[in-house]
Amino acid sequence: MPALMVGRSSPAPVPTPASGYAPATPPESGFPPEGPPRASGRRVTLAGTGPETAARPHAPLYAAPRALLGGLLAAVLLPSLASCRNAGSPAGSGVLHAAGSPLAVEARTMRTALTRDDVLSIREGRFYLEGGPFAEISFNKFDLFWQLFDQLAAGNALDDANPMVQAQDKALRDLDEMGFRSIRIFALPWGPRGPAAYADPGQRRVLYAALDRTVELCERHDIRLVWSLGAGAFTDTQLVPGEGWVYGEEQMRELVANPDSRGRRLLYEYIDETVARYRDRKTVLMWEITNELTLAADIGDRDRVYNGQRMPTLKEVAVFTDEVARRIQAADPLRLVNNGGSHMREHQWHLYRREGWVRDTFDEQFKCFELVFADSAVDVIDIHSYPNNRQGYIIQGPDGKETLLDHQGYMEIARRLGKPLMIGELGLHAAARTNTKIWEETPDYFESFADTAAAKPWVERTLDSVIDAGVQLSYWWCYQSDRPMDQNNPQRFDISRDRNPELLRCFVEANRRLKERLDAR
């Protein structure tokens, strides 16, 4: 078994959960941990540049014939890719890289040994980059890599003539021209396709070819990446057409709680190879372990089985993120590691203690964060924040009445723990009129980001809350989704310079104000 710990002990023991159990279903609607994700000295301009490009519908990997996947390199990749070892790749790995492209040639000539100043670091509680304080409000471009991977899986070359490559390139160019320096992406195919893309040698070459192209496009526009590794996907779970989610022998609990599980061993192989392959690229701002694993903790029946899947405890999540962080740091000692959020459920401490869906107090929420972060190798506390028509999450106040845990409160938690806070996903859910609860509470809410007049005050208020709290790093969900499923959705999350220029000005201005307030670059 690969070594798990590198010079630090596991989190300290915590009180044994009290007797009792949580209901199988949360009292409020929410995003299931295993469900699909939601649809982060320069020129700064909002003017459009370059020709408009239409997004080409893409075929998912699982729709491609196995024969296509098996012969993909010969049919599509080999004319444009050459086999070579990337800087930092294991010797003899044979992973293909777009070595013949101008982008790759430029990238190789730029690559030198990195120092602490070249990467994001922490000094006296502040983020530093390139020798100076760093702060930013930017965007998630969550599907950047996904689109490129799907194009290769569908048999399409990732050259500059590919319309989907052009769409990703345009998004990065837009962000660069507006002054944004980093984004957050999902760097593993979604759901069960993720571990499958690494486990199969043929798909693994497609995986790394798409990642290489992702990095090259970001280097072209000097954009750095919060690189979400997707560690929580390495289970036996499958999405079966006509059946839905099917859980196999190894489920979420086995991955998280058992370091000897097949999924954990495959995860560590993937981390070792991926981190070594890209650790010498300045494009990597920081490594992120997974996405919203904390929301899987302690939910379900008395046995913590939720919708047929065995779930971990919060303590098991804490140990898992500590062990995975140490694995990443062993491969890349320079880079920071964040956990990937999300926030804690408003009832998390009571769920952990098996006391049911009772709202936590601020001190009980702090205990949850303390359990996960106090003795952990994780460097950065990451939350996901969707305040919507409120300005925080509802918890129990000192008087027993409802109060809000807002960005100021999360900053206080981070201050007590001595680690910086980032908001890996910051956003608002546009609400259809059928969501009567929101519209009864706030009649001036908005139905769509296309309604600029209605959406703008809510966007500005949310951005103001981040600036007022002094959160150094936040990524709005999201910029320019190119998934077909998002294109005709009136409540779509994404915004872009072409469709929402006035809203984008809010982000440019907020980013400027944050940097000014924190005296950062």
Tens of pLDDT, residues 143-178: 999 999 999 999 999 999 999 999 999 999 999 999
Domain that holds residue 194: 61-518
Most confident listed range (59-63, 81-85, 292-296)? 292-296
Decide: helix, strand or coil at residue 504.
helix
Considering the domain boundaries, does residue 39 fall inside one? no
Could you give the CA distance from residue 80 to residue 64 in angstroms, rounded to a whole number?
21
Decide: helix, strand or coil at residue 81.
coil
Considering the domain boundaries, does residue 207 fall inside one? yes
pLDDT classification of 28: cutoffs 50, 70, 90: very low
Those residues whose C-beta lies under 8 Å from the C-beta of residue 31, and which sit 6 or more positions away, are 38, 292, 295
Average pLDDT estimate for 434-443 = 95
Considering the domain boundaries, does residue 98 fall inside one? yes
> pLDDT at residue 34 above 90?
no
> pLDDT at residue 102 above 70?
no
Considering the domain boundaries, does residue 215 fall inside one? yes
Task: Note whether 160 and 166 are within 8 A (CB).
Answer: yes
Average pLDDT estimate for 249-277 = 98
Give first-to-last CA distance, the chain, whole Å: 43
pLDDT classification of 111: cutoffs 50, 70, 90: low
Decide: helix, strand or coil at residue 186.
strand
Could you give the CA distance from residue 497 to residue 288 in angstroms, rounded to a whole number?
27
Least confident of 39-43, 295-299, 462-466: 39-43
Considering the domain boundaries, does residue 11 fall inside one? no
Considering the domain boundaries, does residue 291 fall inside one? yes
Average pLDDT estimate for 311-326 = 98
The DSSP secondary-structure symbol of 359 reads: P
Number of domains in the chain: 1
Task: Supply the mean pLDDT for the chain.
Answer: 84
Helices 163-177 and 144-153 pack at an angle, to 10 degrees, of 170
Considering the domain boundaries, does residue 469 fall inside one? yes
CATH number for the domain that contains residue 356? 3.20.20.80
Q: Of 211 and 110, which is predicted with more confidence?
A: 211
Query: What six digits make up the tokens of 393?
Result: 């999450």
Considering the domain boundaries, does residue 305 fall inside one? yes
Average pLDDT estimate for 246-258 = 97
Could you give the CA distance from residue 481 to residue 171 in angstroms, rounded to a whole number?
10
Task: Note whether 477 and 33 are within 8 A (CB).
Answer: no
Task: Note whether 340 and 382 are within 8 A (CB).
Answer: yes
- pLDDT, one tens digit per residue, over 180-198 is 999 999 999 999 999 999 9
Task: Note whether 290 and 229 are within 8 A (CB).
Answer: yes
Decide: helix, strand or coil at residue 287.
strand
CA dihedral sign of residues 501, 504, 506, 508: negative
